[in-house]
Amino acid sequence: MQLYGIPNCNTVKKARDWLTANGIAYEFHDFKKQGINSSLIEGWLKQMPWEKLVNRAGMTWRNLTDAEKSAIKDTKSAQDLMLTKSSVIKRPVLVKDGNIISLGFSEATYKELLL
């Protein structure tokens, strides 16, 4: 199981703490240090609409210009944005066997899925 995100994100910290406290093994993939590639994002976009993967409530999105925001209108433009600004991806992304099993963190969802 892989957990994708950035280590200083509070939501990612909560997910990591919960997984560790419950003895659930996972590999952490740090977007900032390890990057992200187009094939991974393409795979995610086949499982989840771009509107869910792009975190429009986060600071990265809010710091985009209006022109940059309005340019994100389809899967391709969202993919390009996620590749250039990985912090715009909703986090954490929890993946098992190549499939997204959770986006964001909810203790109730993690309990239901993993315990």
- Active-site residues: which are they? 9
| Angle CA 11–15–18, to nearest 5 | 135
Strands 27-30 and 93-96: unpaired
CA distance between the termini of the chain: 14
Q: Which residue has the tokens 């985009």?
A: 64
